[in-house]
Amino acid sequence: MRAGRTIRVGLTGASSDLGRLLMPKLLDDERVEELVVFDVSRPDGLPAPVHFERVDLLRPGVDVELSRALGATRVDALFHLAFVNSRVHRAAFAHELEVLGTLNVLAAAGQARVGRLIVPSLTALYGARRQAAAYLPESSALHPVPGIRFVNDRIEVERAVAEFAERFSDLEVLTLRFAPIVGERSNNPFTRLVRTKVVPTVLGFDPLWQVVHEDDAARALHLALHTRAKGVFNIVGEGVAPVSALLQQAGATPVPLPGPLLRSAIAAMEAAGLPASPWALMDFFRYAWLADGTRAARELHFLPHLPVHEAMATMRR
């Protein structure tokens, strides 16, 4: 975006964790002339100055409808945050919203020639592997996890966004890969696991983890609006710590278990309706999966305010 001028900003997923965290920053930003929210219904508590456009990302032909709305509202930049982090009982719906919804957003953004598109992602997409590099740059390969929808769908989304960025190279496309986001207001698989207070882990393993506080995550998104950079960026908190230390900092108790007992504990938690990390994700509790945040610091000028142990401590509240 050119410096010194006001811009119109569009937003899908205003009711998502990131949407709720980002919106106050956009409303306080004097460089944002107007904020337009695209959603299937008007989000609760949407401030009066925000312009609302009713759009169902899963309706046939919505790409044309959304393209017209983007053109009519003269949106310069679009945050696509309509992703599912809360617990869902309809995995098919979540897949359609994230993958098909994103494809519709990309088609509309291309038709309307939106100048800047910003999409969130996850450092978990790198996977946890025994022989991974100490710190993974953005060029590292992404690794699906069999049976884990929220990882595999996001990889599919990233591939679609990358193809879009290559096809529309004149547009500014940014993908922000976030470490697990933590904080009082965050509701995602990791924060739900922490809030169970008792977390089964893998006996004999205690890998280093990264997290990022929700306020830092929102700030990174906001920085992406005004930077002249584009591409993929890892967004991580300051420092690393063993996963056991992070859990304890948040007031949870890690319970290391051998394989057979760990499987039984996970099954029991799932049967009781408690958040549990599926067996397919146990490699994340065996091996480090640390992302390199150098590029975000250099090009987005993103430096986290909270180190990882302080970020986790906010979960106690």
The proportion of the chain whose per-residue pLDDT surpasses 70, expressed as a percent, equals: 97
Q: Which pLDDT belongs to residue 217?
A: 98
Q: Which two tokens stand for residue 112?
A: 């309307």
Please state, in angstroms and rounded to a whole number, the distance separating the CA atoms of residues 249 and 313.
Answer: 5
Q: What is the dihedral of CA 213, 15, 152, 154, to 10 degrees?
A: -70
What pLDDT digit, counting tens, does each position of 213-265 carry?
A: 999 999 999 999 999 999 999 999 999 999 999 999 999 999 999 989 999 99
Q: Which pLDDT belongs to residue 86?
A: 63
> β-pairing, 198-202 with 32-39?
unpaired
Q: Which pLDDT belongs to residue 88?
A: 57
What pLDDT digit, counting tens, does each position of 156-194 carry?
A: 999 999 999 999 999 999 999 999 999 999 999 999 999
Please state, in angstroms and rounded to a whole number, the distance separating the CA atoms of residues 265 and 2.
Answer: 54
Q: 159 and 216 in contact (C-beta within 8 Å)?
A: no
Q: How many CB atoms lie within 10 A of CB 125?
A: 21
Q: Which pLDDT belongs to residue 146?
A: 92
Q: Is pLDDT at 3 greater than 70 in this prediction?
A: no
Q: Which pLDDT belongs to residue 47?
A: 87
Coil/strand/helix, residue 5: coil
> pTM of the full predicted structure?
0.95
- What CATH class is the domain 7-184+213-237+289-305? alpha beta
Q: Which pLDDT belongs to residue 138?
A: 98
N-term to C-term CA, the chain: 38
Please state, in angstroms and rounded to a whole number, the distance separating the CA atoms of residues 291 and 238.
Answer: 11
What pLDDT digit, counting tens, does each position of 101-148 carry?
A: 999 999 999 999 999 999 999 999 999 999 888 999 999 999 999 989
Domain parsing of the chain, residue ranges: 7-184+213-237+289-305
**48 band by pLDDT with thresholds 50, 70 and 90:** confident
What pLDDT digit, counting tens, does each position of 54-105 carry?
A: 999 999 999 999 999 999 999 999 999 999 876 655 678 888 999 999 999 9
Q: Is pLDDT at 317 greater than 80 in this prediction?
A: no
**286 band by pLDDT with thresholds 50, 70 and 90:** very high
Q: Which two tokens stand for residue 4?
A: 């010194």
Q: How many CB atoms lie within 10 A of CB 160?
A: 16
Among 48, 85, 127, 55, residue whose Cα is nearest residue 217 = 85
- Helix residue spans in the chain (DSSP H): 17-27, 62-72, 91-95, 101-112, 149-167, 189-194, 214-226, 243-249, 259-271, 294-295, 308-313
Please state, in angstroms and rounded to a whole number, the distance separating the CA atoms of residues 270 and 106.
Answer: 36
Residue with tokens 């408690």: 274
DSSP 123-178: GGGG---TT--SSB-TTSPP---TT-HHHHHHHHHHHHHHHHHHHTTTSEEEEEEE
